[in-house]
Amino acid sequence: MSSKAAILNKIKQNKPEFVSELPDLSVLGSDQFDVLEKYKTTLKSIGGDFVEVSGIEEVKAYIKNNYALEKRIITTIPELSEIASLDWENDDPHSLQDVELTIIKGHFGVAENSAIWVTDEILGQRAAPFIAQYLSIIVDKNTIIPTMHQAYEKIGNQDYGFGTFIAGPSKTADIEQSLVLGAHGARGLVVFLVD
């Protein structure tokens, strides 16, 4: 008998006799707070930062003023071609090792934990938000929802190869519980909140 058959047989034999029903999730996620304010304070509390902008021109201006433009900046957003390159999506992901800043769009933000949902279609490459020294994500303010329950309602049965929630910069506290930003992924995250 294959291991699969053996495992499944034993599970069938040993599982509880009674069947527990799945609970109702619709009663969850009614947390009351100002969604945008909650998003901003949470993001700050986990080491991220935000800039409120009215459009892509302000994003450009902020990046020009705050990042080293002579270093490698990549994006998946055509409107940013003036400050970042767009022609890397089919390259070997290892070639992204010298990227200073990755700028991408997020599908939506979650207020309770400041996470942003991103998937293959807006990442360009799966490694792009992780391998860069710094990360910027542009999110439409109006897409921010209160909790993870609304997040999965929104995701529904969306098809993707890879998707991830990103909440703040990469971090660790593995040495004596001292928080250090920039463990393996981005050292800093700036979220552009667009009207």
Interactions with another protein, residue window 71-100 (CB under 8 A): 93-94, 97
* Tokens 């901003």 -> residue: 40
Q: How buried is residue 106: exposed, middle or buried, by Cβ count under 10 Å (0-12/13-18/19+)?
A: buried
Query: Within positions 129 to 158, which residues make up the interface with another protein, using CB under 8 A?
Result: 130-131, 147-149, 151-153, 155, 157
Does the protein bind another protein through residue 54 (CB under 8 A)?
Answer: no
Does the protein bind another protein through residue 190 (CB under 8 A)?
Answer: no
CA pair distance 179, 181, nearest whole angstrom: 7
Does the protein bind another protein through residue 113 (CB under 8 A)?
Answer: yes
CB 67 to another protein: min, Å: 20
CA 43 to chain centroid: 12
Cβ–Cβ < 8 Å for 144, 111: yes
Query: Within positions 32 to 51, which residues make up the interface with another protein, using CB under 8 A?
Result: 32, 42, 46
| Binds another protein (CB under 8 A): choice among 109, 124, 146, 168 | 168
Does the protein bind another protein through residue 166 (CB under 8 A)?
Answer: yes
CA pair distance 184, 171, nearest whole angstrom: 8
Q: Which is nearer to another protein, 17 or 195 (CB)?
A: 17
Does the protein bind another protein through residue 70 (CB under 8 A)?
Answer: no
Does the protein bind another protein through residue 14 (CB under 8 A)?
Answer: yes
Two tokens, residue 125: 């490459």
CA pair distance 81, 63, nearest whole angstrom: 12
